[in-house]
Amino acid sequence: MAKKDSDETAAATRTRTPIVGIGASAGGIHALMSFFDAIPAEIGATFVVIVHLAPDMRSELHHVLQARSKLSVTQVQGKSELKPNCIYVIPPGQAPGADAPPRMPPPSDPPATEPPPTEGGGAGATTSGAGSPTGGASAP
């Protein structure tokens, strides 16, 4: 019976975990560092970060964010099961939804034909190193 209770608790957590997508240009890395430095360890959300870098560029962003964050940070390699209180960094040259996108584990109760529950919601943000909504471009 304990296994069933544990499975139900895990399924309930997955269906209520907000996923926050954050996109940034290379100039937005300082903003990401400041943001994750301020996020508490038990925020209860999952963060997926993608930074616009050349596809052949090696990225150390996951190490940089791990040094500043209280959350666990992983650079996505292959399929990844998203967990709360974690940051997933999409490497250069890979887009979410490509060959190996991050994924939430399926809830155990609903049939496969139903869309996953969305109680947890989600959010998205884009940062720019220029500090303006236009990304540094001058307004007409």
Residue 114 lies in a domain: no
Residue 9 lies in a domain: no
Residue 61 lies in a domain: yes
Strand partners, 50: 23, 90
Residue ranges making up the domain that contains 54: 18-106+120-127
Residue 96 lies in a domain: yes
Residue 34 lies in a domain: yes
Q: At what angle do helices 61-68 and 29-38 cross, to 10 degrees?
A: 30
Reported as a single tens digit per residue, the pLDDT across 89-129 is 998 887 665 444 445 444 444 444 444 444 556 666 656 55
Residue 68 lies in a domain: yes
Q: How far apart are CA 67 and CA 135, in angstroms?
A: 27
Residue 42 lies in a domain: yes
Contacts of residue 91, Cβ cutoff 8 Å, sequence gap at least 6 = 59, 75, 76, 77
Q: What is the mean pLDDT of the chain?
A: 73
> Is the model's pTM score more than 0.85?
no
Reported as a single tens digit per residue, the pLDDT across 75-92 is 998 777 889 999 999 988
CATH number of the domain bearing residue 28: 3.40.50.180
Phi, psi of 106 (to 5 degrees): -70, 145
Q: Hunting for tokens 């997926």 — which residue is that? A: 48
